[in-house]
Copies of this chain bind each other. A is one copy, B any other.
Amino acid sequence: MNAEIIAIGTEILLGEIIDTNSAHIAQSLPELGIDLLYKSVVGDNLGRIVETLQRAWGRSDLTVITGGLGPTEDDMTREGICALLGEEPRVDAALETHLRGFFANRGYPMPESNVKQAWLIPSSRALDNPRGTAPGWWVERDGRVIVCMPGVPTEMERMWANEVKPELERRSDGQVLVTRTIKTVGIGEGTVDEMAKPLYATPGIGVGTYARADGVQLRIGAKAATREEAWSRIHPVEEELRRIFGSAIWGFDDDTMEGYLRDELVRRGQTLATMESATGGLLTSVLTDVPGASAYFKGGMVTYQTQTKIDAGVDPAVIEEFGVVSAETAGAMAKAARARFATDFGIGVTGVAGPDPEDGVPPGTVHVAVAGPGDGVSHLTIAMNSGRAMVKRRAVTTALLLLRRALMEGAG
């Protein structure tokens, strides 16, 4: 089954809103055995919407549309589909009752313009949307399917998961693609590729490598009539790759480094604290992006000024001798964080996020240090002047990887 995705909305076309819906949908199509061939964006213009729909109808078995289901004149997805199929909309009594109830529950009358959200055409049925007023449309005719969902991501994601995906799964008579991602760190992509190469020729399996900020990923893919069959081909390859890469593997599929660190620290009953300047709180924010971080994370300090670092326990002699942006000061910050919060591990980050140099240190220079239970400190320095936001993100990833390394070494 071939598919394409169309996002409708002038704000998306003009880049005022970044379209994350299309990526969300695209990522779940392979496991349904659906091949995605095109994505497109069109503004709130009926002529161009219809033109785009006609092309999709002509070439794709499945067209997934997001956006343009609101109540205003600018929302023209339903009108576009009516024009495409030459069908007349009518107000569905049950949908209208439901819609009026939605407004009544919130205690205000329904604007009459909203009534078009209760439209149906002969080829469409409504898709439930408990998170908003716009139901989706499942349109089916001549063996082709169009799915329309709201543009608001939370509404779209629920409708996709609860209404659309199960229906597409039921219809999947072809082959399903199952993928397994193995996440490694500490080995370059070329070497990973060399090490995995003996498995590339396994029949019925595809293996690829992908370089990411947090290490190199190996992806195993298998296409088969059933998920079980696909998994039965993946498992032996995964076992072999686990054997080859051993402790260089830190996670699988959707695992994140912050989730790995939480699991590992909680499992060991160990704790962590941070002291950061260049990353300005982002390191701590990422560490606590996973639920349950309070079980191991005791506290963090953002010491944006030199005096604040000293007040927080950093030895002023270290700053005096090596400078505030130095591996030594990062180490002293890691130790001070560990001491202040009485934790097993401490992370220190100091650097110049940019855009300007500070005290002669070029922007993009960041020192990261981890202090561990044995009073040992490890450092990493990055130098990459790629803009303030990117420098901060890169430094956070470096800190997470360095902590992981310290945990591994402590375990060894």
Contacts and interface: CB of A to CB of B under 8 A. Distances in A.
Contacts of A289: 280, 388-389, 392
27 contacts: A14-B30, A15-B22, A16-B23, A16-B210, A18-B18, A18-B20, A37-B43, A38-B41, A39-B42, A154-B390, A279-B285, A280-B285, A280-B288, A280-B293, A281-B283, A281-B285, A281-B302, A288-B302, A288-B304, A291-B355, A291-B356, A299-B301, A299-B311, A300-B302, A300-B304, A301-B301, A302-B302
A27 B14 contact: yes
Interface string A14-41: 1110101011111101100000111111
A256 interface: no
The 8 closest A-B pairs by CB, nearest first: A15-B23, A281-B284, A280-B288, A281-B281, A15-B26, A300-B302, A281-B285, A39-B41
A231 interface: no
A305 interface: yes
B14 A36 contact: yes
Contacts of A23: 15-16, 18
A100 interface: no
A14 B22 CA distance: 9
A281 B29 CA distance: 35
A67 to B, nearest CB: 13
Quick one: copies of this chain in the complex? Answer: 2
Nearest to A22: B15
A13 B42 contact: no
Contacts of A282: 281-282, 285
Contacts of A355: 291
B300 A281 contact: yes
Contacts of A52: 38
A289 B298 CA distance: 24
A48 interface: yes
B308 A341 contact: yes
Interface in A176-199: none
A294 B305 contact: yes
A3 to B, nearest CB: 11
Given A18-B20, A388-B289, A284 B302 contact: yes
Given A38-B42, A284-B302, 17 more contacts: A13-B37, A14-B30, A15-B27, A16-B27, A38-B52, A154-B386, A279-B285, A280-B288, A281-B281, A285-B285, A291-B353, A291-B355, A291-B388, A294-B304, A294-B305, A302-B302, A308-B341
A12 to B, nearest CB: 8
Interface residues of A, number: 65
A13 B303 CA distance: 42
A332 interface: no
Contacts of A312: 299
Contacts of A389: 289
A77 interface: no
A350 to B, nearest CB: 12
A392 B287 CA distance: 13
B299 A302 contact: yes
A302 B39 CA distance: 42
A274 interface: yes
Contacts of A304: 288, 293-294, 297-300
Nearest to A386: B154
Contact of A302 (B291, B301, B308, B353): B301
Contacts of A281: 276, 281-285, 287-288, 300, 302
A25 B36 contact: no
A296 to B, nearest CB: 9
